[in-house]
Homo-oligomer: A and B are copies of this chain.
Amino acid sequence: MLETNPRAGGPSPGAGTLLQLLRDGAPRTRSELAGVTGLARSTVTQRIDALLASGLIGPAGEAASTGGRPPTTFAFQPTARVTLGADLGATHGRLAITDLAGNVLAATNADLDIAAGPKAGLDWIVNEGRALLEQTGRGAQDLLGVGIGLPGPVEYSTGRAVNPPIMPGWDGFDVPAYIEERLAGPVLVDNDVNIMALGEHFTHWSRAEHLMFVKAATGIGCGIISDGQVYRGAQGAAGDMGHIRATGDNNTPCRCGNTGCLEAVASGAAIAAALTAQGTEAHTAMDVVELARAGSLAALHLIRQAGRDIGEVLAAAVNLLNPSIIVIGGSLSLAGDHLLAGVREVVYQRSLPLATQHLRIVQSRTGERGGAIGAGIMVVNHALSPERVDEWVTAG
Protein backbone atom coordinates (compact mmCIF):
# COMPACT_ATOMS: atom_id res chain seq x y z
CA MET A 1 0.00 0.00 0.00
CA LEU A 2 2.79 2.38 0.87
CA GLU A 3 4.25 2.15 -2.61
CA THR A 4 1.10 3.59 -4.15
CA ASN A 5 0.65 6.44 -1.68
CA PRO A 6 2.52 9.52 -2.91
CA ARG A 7 2.37 11.03 0.56
CA ALA A 8 3.98 8.07 2.29
CA GLY A 9 7.28 8.67 4.02
CA GLY A 10 8.72 5.41 2.79
CA PRO A 11 10.55 2.61 4.55
CA SER A 12 13.76 2.90 6.55
CA PRO A 13 16.96 4.12 4.88
CA GLY A 14 18.55 1.08 3.23
CA ALA A 15 21.89 0.47 1.56
CA GLY A 16 20.62 2.49 -1.41
CA THR A 17 20.08 5.56 0.73
CA LEU A 18 23.62 5.26 2.14
CA LEU A 19 24.93 5.07 -1.41
CA GLN A 20 22.95 8.20 -2.41
CA LEU A 21 24.64 10.06 0.42
CA LEU A 22 28.05 8.85 -0.69
CA ARG A 23 27.48 9.70 -4.39
CA ASP A 24 28.64 13.28 -3.68
CA GLY A 25 32.16 11.84 -3.47
CA ALA A 26 32.94 12.77 0.14
CA PRO A 27 34.25 9.89 2.32
CA ARG A 28 32.36 9.20 5.55
CA THR A 29 32.78 7.00 8.63
CA ARG A 30 30.22 4.49 9.89
CA SER A 31 29.43 6.84 12.78
CA GLU A 32 28.81 9.75 10.44
CA LEU A 33 26.46 7.64 8.33
CA ALA A 34 24.64 6.43 11.46
CA GLY A 35 24.29 10.05 12.62
CA VAL A 36 22.87 11.31 9.33
CA THR A 37 20.47 8.44 8.70
CA GLY A 38 19.37 7.71 12.27
CA LEU A 39 20.10 4.03 11.66
CA ALA A 40 21.55 1.85 14.42
CA ARG A 41 25.34 1.48 14.18
CA SER A 42 24.95 -2.27 13.65
CA THR A 43 22.56 -1.68 10.75
CA VAL A 44 24.98 0.75 9.12
CA THR A 45 27.81 -1.77 9.43
CA GLN A 46 25.66 -4.46 7.81
CA ARG A 47 24.72 -2.16 4.90
CA ILE A 48 28.27 -0.89 4.42
CA ASP A 49 29.39 -4.53 4.16
CA ALA A 50 26.78 -5.19 1.48
CA LEU A 51 27.88 -2.11 -0.47
CA LEU A 52 31.56 -3.07 -0.11
CA ALA A 53 30.72 -6.51 -1.51
CA SER A 54 29.02 -4.89 -4.50
CA GLY A 55 32.12 -2.77 -5.13
CA LEU A 56 30.04 0.42 -5.32
CA ILE A 57 31.90 1.82 -2.33
CA GLY A 58 35.40 1.23 -1.03
CA PRO A 59 37.47 2.08 2.02
CA ALA A 60 38.91 5.58 1.62
CA GLY A 61 41.48 5.90 4.36
CA GLU A 62 41.12 6.86 7.96
CA ALA A 63 39.33 9.80 9.48
CA ALA A 64 41.00 11.99 12.11
CA SER A 65 40.94 10.12 15.40
CA THR A 66 39.19 11.55 18.43
CA GLY A 67 41.19 9.21 20.63
CA GLY A 68 41.75 5.50 20.10
CA ARG A 69 42.01 3.76 16.74
CA PRO A 70 41.06 6.18 13.90
CA PRO A 71 37.85 5.06 12.16
CA THR A 72 37.80 3.93 8.51
CA THR A 73 36.00 6.12 5.96
CA PHE A 74 34.10 4.85 2.93
CA ALA A 75 33.61 6.53 -0.42
CA PHE A 76 31.67 5.99 -3.64
CA GLN A 77 33.68 4.19 -6.32
CA PRO A 78 32.60 5.72 -9.64
CA THR A 79 34.70 3.21 -11.57
CA ALA A 80 32.96 0.20 -9.96
CA ARG A 81 30.86 -0.19 -13.07
CA VAL A 82 30.59 1.43 -16.49
CA THR A 83 27.66 2.32 -18.72
CA LEU A 84 27.25 2.23 -22.47
CA GLY A 85 25.49 5.34 -23.74
CA ALA A 86 24.27 5.55 -27.34
CA ASP A 87 22.87 8.50 -29.24
CA LEU A 88 21.30 7.61 -32.58
CA GLY A 89 20.39 10.59 -34.74
CA ALA A 90 18.86 10.73 -38.20
CA THR A 91 22.21 10.21 -39.92
CA HIS A 92 24.74 9.44 -37.18
CA GLY A 93 25.47 7.22 -34.22
CA ARG A 94 27.52 8.22 -31.19
CA LEU A 95 28.65 5.85 -28.48
CA ALA A 96 30.43 6.35 -25.16
CA ILE A 97 31.56 4.22 -22.26
CA THR A 98 31.20 6.31 -19.11
CA ASP A 99 31.91 5.61 -15.47
CA LEU A 100 29.27 6.15 -12.79
CA ALA A 101 30.17 9.85 -12.52
CA GLY A 102 29.62 10.50 -16.24
CA ASN A 103 33.32 10.57 -17.19
CA VAL A 104 33.90 9.34 -20.75
CA LEU A 105 36.33 6.40 -20.81
CA ALA A 106 36.04 5.66 -24.53
CA ALA A 107 33.90 6.91 -27.40
CA THR A 108 33.23 6.46 -31.09
CA ASN A 109 31.10 7.97 -33.86
CA ALA A 110 29.81 6.74 -37.18
CA ASP A 111 27.60 7.80 -40.07
CA LEU A 112 24.47 5.76 -39.65
CA ASP A 113 21.10 5.95 -41.38
CA ILE A 114 18.31 5.56 -38.85
CA ALA A 115 15.98 4.72 -41.76
CA ALA A 116 17.95 1.50 -42.33
CA GLY A 117 15.87 0.03 -39.49
CA PRO A 118 16.35 -1.13 -35.92
CA LYS A 119 18.60 -4.14 -36.48
CA ALA A 120 21.22 -2.15 -38.40
CA GLY A 121 21.31 0.58 -35.74
CA LEU A 122 21.20 -1.71 -32.73
CA ASP A 123 23.76 -4.15 -34.14
CA TRP A 124 26.12 -1.19 -34.52
CA ILE A 125 25.59 -0.36 -30.83
CA VAL A 126 26.19 -3.99 -29.82
CA ASN A 127 29.32 -4.50 -31.93
CA GLU A 128 30.94 -1.12 -31.32
CA GLY A 129 29.88 -1.26 -27.67
CA ARG A 130 31.71 -4.57 -27.20
CA ALA A 131 34.78 -3.14 -28.92
CA LEU A 132 34.75 -0.03 -26.71
CA LEU A 133 34.34 -2.15 -23.58
CA GLU A 134 37.38 -4.17 -24.59
CA GLN A 135 39.29 -0.97 -25.34
CA THR A 136 38.70 0.23 -21.76
CA GLY A 137 39.77 -3.12 -20.37
CA ARG A 138 36.34 -3.83 -18.93
CA GLY A 139 34.16 -6.90 -19.44
CA ALA A 140 30.45 -7.49 -19.89
CA GLN A 141 30.15 -8.10 -16.11
CA ASP A 142 31.25 -4.49 -15.51
CA LEU A 143 28.42 -3.05 -17.59
CA LEU A 144 25.76 -1.47 -15.36
CA GLY A 145 23.37 -1.08 -18.25
CA VAL A 146 22.81 0.48 -21.65
CA GLY A 147 21.15 3.83 -22.38
CA ILE A 148 19.92 4.66 -25.88
CA GLY A 149 18.54 7.85 -27.38
CA LEU A 150 16.40 7.63 -30.53
CA PRO A 151 15.37 10.48 -32.86
CA GLY A 152 11.62 10.15 -32.40
CA PRO A 153 8.87 9.74 -29.81
CA VAL A 154 9.66 6.93 -27.36
CA GLU A 155 7.40 5.33 -24.76
CA TYR A 156 9.91 5.39 -21.92
CA SER A 157 8.22 2.66 -19.86
CA THR A 158 8.55 0.08 -22.66
CA GLY A 159 11.59 1.46 -24.50
CA ARG A 160 9.82 1.43 -27.85
CA ALA A 161 9.52 4.11 -30.49
CA VAL A 162 5.89 5.04 -31.20
CA ASN A 163 4.94 6.26 -34.69
CA PRO A 164 8.37 7.80 -35.27
CA PRO A 165 8.17 9.91 -38.45
CA ILE A 166 11.73 9.33 -39.75
CA MET A 167 12.36 5.79 -38.48
CA PRO A 168 10.78 3.18 -40.77
CA GLY A 169 10.74 -0.27 -39.14
CA TRP A 170 11.26 1.02 -35.60
CA ASP A 171 7.59 1.52 -34.67
CA GLY A 172 6.95 -0.70 -31.64
CA PHE A 173 10.25 -2.60 -32.02
CA ASP A 174 11.35 -4.02 -28.64
CA VAL A 175 14.70 -2.26 -28.33
CA PRO A 176 15.42 -3.33 -24.72
CA ALA A 177 14.83 -7.02 -25.48
CA TYR A 178 17.09 -6.91 -28.54
CA ILE A 179 19.97 -5.30 -26.64
CA GLU A 180 19.55 -7.32 -23.43
CA GLU A 181 19.86 -10.54 -25.43
CA ARG A 182 23.22 -9.42 -26.82
CA LEU A 183 24.84 -7.14 -24.21
CA ALA A 184 23.42 -6.53 -20.75
CA GLY A 185 20.53 -4.96 -18.91
CA PRO A 186 18.87 -2.83 -17.86
CA VAL A 187 18.40 -1.12 -21.23
CA LEU A 188 16.73 2.28 -21.06
CA VAL A 189 15.52 4.08 -24.16
CA ASP A 190 14.44 7.66 -24.47
CA ASN A 191 14.04 10.38 -27.05
CA ASP A 192 17.47 11.65 -28.14
CA VAL A 193 16.68 15.19 -27.04
CA ASN A 194 15.81 14.05 -23.52
CA ILE A 195 19.21 12.39 -23.11
CA MET A 196 20.95 15.46 -24.54
CA ALA A 197 19.09 17.61 -22.00
CA LEU A 198 20.17 15.23 -19.25
CA GLY A 199 23.81 15.30 -20.39
CA GLU A 200 23.86 19.08 -20.66
CA HIS A 201 22.22 19.49 -17.26
CA PHE A 202 24.43 16.93 -15.48
CA THR A 203 27.70 18.24 -16.88
CA HIS A 204 27.11 22.04 -16.90
CA TRP A 205 23.91 23.18 -15.20
CA SER A 206 23.29 20.77 -12.34
CA ARG A 207 22.21 23.63 -10.07
CA ALA A 208 19.48 24.79 -12.47
CA GLU A 209 16.12 23.41 -11.32
CA HIS A 210 14.29 24.10 -14.57
CA LEU A 211 16.15 23.67 -17.84
CA MET A 212 14.91 23.34 -21.41
CA PHE A 213 17.23 21.94 -24.06
CA VAL A 214 16.32 22.59 -27.70
CA LYS A 215 17.88 20.52 -30.44
CA ALA A 216 17.72 22.35 -33.76
CA ALA A 217 19.10 20.05 -36.45
CA THR A 218 17.47 18.02 -39.24
CA GLY A 219 14.39 18.12 -37.00
CA ILE A 220 13.52 20.16 -33.92
CA GLY A 221 12.87 18.76 -30.47
CA CYS A 222 13.19 19.71 -26.84
CA GLY A 223 14.01 18.07 -23.53
CA ILE A 224 12.70 19.42 -20.23
CA ILE A 225 14.64 18.92 -16.98
CA SER A 226 12.79 19.60 -13.75
CA ASP A 227 14.43 19.00 -10.37
CA GLY A 228 17.25 17.14 -12.08
CA GLN A 229 14.91 14.67 -13.79
CA VAL A 230 13.66 14.45 -17.36
CA TYR A 231 10.05 15.63 -17.47
CA ARG A 232 8.44 12.91 -19.54
CA GLY A 233 4.73 13.38 -19.06
CA ALA A 234 2.12 10.63 -19.14
CA GLN A 235 3.49 8.58 -22.08
CA GLY A 236 7.03 9.94 -22.20
CA ALA A 237 6.11 12.19 -25.12
CA ALA A 238 6.78 15.52 -23.40
CA GLY A 239 9.06 18.00 -25.18
CA ASP A 240 8.01 17.34 -28.75
CA MET A 241 8.06 20.96 -29.85
CA GLY A 242 8.87 20.30 -33.51
CA HIS A 243 5.23 19.62 -34.34
CA ILE A 244 3.75 22.61 -32.59
CA ARG A 245 2.22 24.92 -35.17
CA ALA A 246 4.49 27.82 -36.10
CA THR A 247 2.85 31.23 -35.91
CA GLY A 248 2.10 32.90 -39.24
CA ASP A 249 2.48 29.76 -41.32
CA ASN A 250 -0.34 27.31 -41.70
CA ASN A 251 0.21 25.49 -44.97
CA THR A 252 3.69 24.02 -45.25
CA PRO A 253 3.24 20.24 -45.22
CA CYS A 254 5.17 18.41 -42.47
CA ARG A 255 6.43 14.84 -42.56
CA CYS A 256 4.24 14.15 -39.49
CA GLY A 257 1.12 14.45 -41.65
CA ASN A 258 0.04 17.85 -40.33
CA THR A 259 0.79 21.24 -41.87
CA GLY A 260 2.53 24.34 -40.57
CA CYS A 261 4.58 22.55 -37.86
CA LEU A 262 7.64 24.39 -36.53
CA GLU A 263 9.86 21.65 -37.95
CA ALA A 264 8.39 22.18 -41.43
CA VAL A 265 9.50 25.81 -41.48
CA ALA A 266 12.50 26.19 -39.14
CA SER A 267 14.47 22.93 -39.13
CA GLY A 268 17.78 22.37 -40.88
CA ALA A 269 15.94 20.29 -43.48
CA ALA A 270 13.42 23.12 -44.08
CA ILE A 271 16.16 25.74 -44.45
CA ALA A 272 18.12 23.50 -46.82
CA ALA A 273 14.99 23.05 -48.96
CA ALA A 274 14.34 26.81 -48.96
CA LEU A 275 17.93 27.53 -50.00
CA THR A 276 17.75 24.96 -52.78
CA ALA A 277 14.50 26.53 -54.01
CA GLN A 278 16.31 29.89 -54.08
CA GLY A 279 19.07 28.39 -56.24
CA THR A 280 21.68 27.69 -53.54
CA GLU A 281 21.98 23.94 -53.28
CA ALA A 282 21.84 22.53 -49.73
CA HIS A 283 20.68 19.15 -48.42
CA THR A 284 21.46 18.89 -44.72
CA ALA A 285 21.58 21.08 -41.63
CA MET A 286 25.39 20.97 -41.86
CA ASP A 287 25.24 22.25 -45.47
CA VAL A 288 23.25 25.20 -44.12
CA VAL A 289 25.79 25.81 -41.36
CA GLU A 290 28.67 25.71 -43.84
CA LEU A 291 26.92 28.18 -46.15
CA ALA A 292 26.39 30.49 -43.17
CA ARG A 293 30.03 30.18 -42.16
CA ALA A 294 31.02 31.04 -45.75
CA GLY A 295 28.94 34.23 -45.44
CA SER A 296 25.87 33.30 -47.50
CA LEU A 297 23.37 36.07 -46.80
CA ALA A 298 20.49 33.83 -47.84
CA ALA A 299 21.56 31.20 -45.30
CA LEU A 300 22.12 33.77 -42.53
CA HIS A 301 18.73 35.32 -43.19
CA LEU A 302 16.94 31.98 -43.08
CA ILE A 303 18.78 30.86 -39.92
CA ARG A 304 17.85 34.09 -38.17
CA GLN A 305 14.21 33.67 -39.22
CA ALA A 306 14.29 30.04 -38.03
CA GLY A 307 15.52 31.39 -34.69
CA ARG A 308 12.51 33.72 -34.57
CA ASP A 309 10.11 30.89 -35.44
CA ILE A 310 11.66 28.69 -32.75
CA GLY A 311 11.51 31.70 -30.44
CA GLU A 312 7.74 32.02 -30.95
CA VAL A 313 7.19 28.45 -29.79
CA LEU A 314 9.72 28.87 -26.97
CA ALA A 315 7.95 32.05 -25.85
CA ALA A 316 4.83 29.93 -25.36
CA ALA A 317 6.91 27.31 -23.54
CA VAL A 318 8.44 29.99 -21.30
CA ASN A 319 4.97 31.25 -20.34
CA LEU A 320 3.87 27.68 -19.61
CA LEU A 321 6.97 26.35 -17.82
CA ASN A 322 8.98 29.36 -16.60
CA PRO A 323 12.42 27.70 -17.02
CA SER A 324 15.54 29.37 -15.62
CA ILE A 325 17.69 28.39 -18.59
CA ILE A 326 17.15 27.46 -22.23
CA VAL A 327 20.05 25.68 -23.93
CA ILE A 328 20.09 25.68 -27.73
CA GLY A 329 21.95 22.76 -29.28
CA GLY A 330 21.89 20.64 -32.42
CA SER A 331 23.87 21.18 -35.61
CA LEU A 332 21.97 24.34 -36.58
CA SER A 333 23.25 26.04 -33.41
CA LEU A 334 26.78 25.66 -34.81
CA ALA A 335 26.01 28.53 -37.20
CA GLY A 336 27.10 30.91 -34.47
CA ASP A 337 24.96 33.57 -32.86
CA HIS A 338 22.48 33.98 -35.71
CA LEU A 339 20.08 31.30 -34.50
CA LEU A 340 20.29 32.42 -30.86
CA ALA A 341 19.80 36.07 -31.79
CA GLY A 342 16.51 35.21 -33.50
CA VAL A 343 15.40 33.09 -30.54
CA ARG A 344 16.25 35.78 -27.99
CA GLU A 345 14.61 38.52 -30.06
CA VAL A 346 11.21 36.85 -29.92
CA VAL A 347 11.33 35.20 -26.50
CA TYR A 348 12.16 38.44 -24.71
CA GLN A 349 9.50 40.27 -26.72
CA ARG A 350 6.69 37.69 -26.38
CA SER A 351 7.11 36.15 -22.91
CA LEU A 352 5.88 37.64 -19.65
CA PRO A 353 8.33 39.86 -17.73
CA LEU A 354 8.16 37.67 -14.60
CA ALA A 355 9.17 34.62 -16.62
CA THR A 356 12.07 36.30 -18.44
CA GLN A 357 13.61 38.48 -15.74
CA HIS A 358 16.21 35.85 -14.80
CA LEU A 359 15.95 33.68 -17.93
CA ARG A 360 19.19 32.76 -19.71
CA ILE A 361 19.28 31.57 -23.31
CA VAL A 362 22.63 29.96 -24.11
CA GLN A 363 24.33 27.73 -26.65
CA SER A 364 24.95 24.05 -25.85
CA ARG A 365 28.31 23.30 -24.23
CA THR A 366 28.42 19.51 -24.34
CA GLY A 367 28.48 19.45 -28.13
CA GLU A 368 28.44 16.14 -29.96
CA ARG A 369 29.00 13.89 -26.96
CA GLY A 370 26.18 15.30 -24.82
CA GLY A 371 23.66 12.69 -25.95
CA ALA A 372 25.85 9.66 -25.30
CA ILE A 373 26.90 11.03 -21.88
CA GLY A 374 23.26 11.75 -21.04
CA ALA A 375 22.28 8.20 -22.06
CA GLY A 376 24.88 6.90 -19.60
CA ILE A 377 23.62 9.23 -16.85
CA MET A 378 20.08 7.96 -17.47
CA VAL A 379 21.30 4.43 -16.70
CA VAL A 380 23.23 5.53 -13.61
CA ASN A 381 20.27 7.49 -12.20
CA HIS A 382 18.04 4.47 -12.73
CA ALA A 383 20.38 1.72 -11.53
CA LEU A 384 21.72 3.62 -8.51
CA SER A 385 18.31 4.78 -7.24
CA PRO A 386 17.89 3.73 -3.59
CA GLU A 387 15.27 1.09 -4.47
CA ARG A 388 17.44 -0.56 -7.16
CA VAL A 389 20.53 -0.57 -4.98
CA ASP A 390 18.55 -2.14 -2.13
CA GLU A 391 17.39 -4.92 -4.48
CA TRP A 392 20.90 -5.31 -5.86
CA VAL A 393 22.75 -5.75 -2.57
CA THR A 394 19.97 -7.97 -1.17
CA ALA A 395 20.10 -10.21 -4.24
CA GLY A 396 23.90 -10.23 -4.22
Residues of A whose CB lies within 8 Å of any CB of B are 1-2, 5-13, 16-18, 20-21, 23-24, 26, 36-40, 43, 153, 155, 162-163, 209-210, 222, 224, 226-228, 231-241, 243-245, 247-248, 250, 256, 258, 312-313, 315-317, 319-324, 349-350, 352-355, 357-359, 386
Contacts and interface: CB of A to CB of B under 8 A. Distances in A.
A2 B36 contact: yes
Given A256-B352, A316-B313, A238 B40 contact: no
A20 B38 contact: no
Given A10-B13, A13-B13, A235-B357, 17 more contacts: A1-B24, A1-B26, A5-B24, A7-B228, A8-B20, A12-B36, A12-B37, A153-B354, A233-B322, A233-B323, A235-B358, A236-B354, A237-B322, A240-B319, A244-B316, A245-B247, A321-B321
Contacts of A239: 320
Contacts of A256: 352
Contacts of A23: 7
5 contacts: A7-B228, A8-B21, A224-B320, A237-B319, A241-B316
A82 B33 CA distance: 38
A261 B127 CA distance: 53
Contacts of A6: 227-228
B321 A238 contact: yes
